[in-house]
Amino acid sequence: MKKIIVAKELTKSYDGIHNILSDVNIEIEEGSKNLIIGESGCGKTTLLSILEAIEKPDSGVLTIKDYDVYGMKSKELTKFRGENIGVVFQNYQLIQELTAIDNIKLPAVINKKNINEKYLKWLIKALNIKHCIKRYPDELSGGEQQRVAIARAMILRPAILFADEPTGNLDEENTRYVMDLVEMLNAKLKVTIVMVSHDITMIKRMDTVFEIKNKKLRRTDYYD
């Protein structure tokens, strides 16, 4: 399988003293579902931010689709992220002043991209949010907000969908529903999934599981 993300010897510290990640190596296959686990505070979110090309490591190399992303200039990197990366957050991060449909369209507006209306209609139907697209975020349930957030992340059909604890604020029923939708997007659109979660029940849904322990990352076959 083709590698869509390759990171080598990533190191990240705070205050230049306290290492949170040390010589991390990771390869992500195109079209795969990947989970990063580890204890609270171990650096899962930091690693995800680096892989998303949001937070720069102190050292190391990151390539996405064979591009050296941290070798890009700021405008070039912003354009690359807009065209290739979608992000879903635990707390949704919807714009409260915008309706659900305007939140979904926001990445296209920011990146000055045309929206494929046929695809938008499919996405809304697939995520079961047609009934709430004219409502504002505070009028939606947690599950509805997360599905709108997923639609927003997918509106430009990114190659990679990053998700940081995407079900952390959801009950068991909505957690299953959201994860079913993520798996559907992976299967239908071949989007690569890279997810961080403390919920080890997610393991059985993934192709590959990575664990951060003692500032190191390792691939694990833990399925208990």
Copy the structure tokens of residue 12: 């990240």
Per-residue pLDDT, 90: 85
User: Which of these, 212, 185, 182, lies nearest to 50 by C-alpha position?
Assistant: 212
Q: Looking at 137-196, which runs of residues are DSSP E strands?
A: 160-164, 192-196
User: Which of these, 118, 173, 171, 174, lies nearest to 150 by C-alpha position?
Assistant: 174
Per-residue pLDDT, 222: 58
Q: Which neighbouring-strand residues pair with 5?
A: 28, 64
Distance CA 144, CA 148 (A): 6
Distance CA 181, CA 193 (A): 12
Distance CA 71, CA 48 (A): 18
Per-residue pLDDT, 223: 52
Please state the CATH superfamily assignment of the domain spanning residues 3-93+157-220 in this structure: P-loop containing nucleotide triphosphate hydrolases (3.40.50.300)
Annotated domain spans of the chain? 3-93+157-220
pTM, two decimals, is: 0.94
Per-residue pLDDT, 41: 86
Residue ranges in the chain modelled with pLDDT below 70: 16-17, 222-224
Per-residue pLDDT, 75: 92
- Please provide the size of the chain in residues: 224
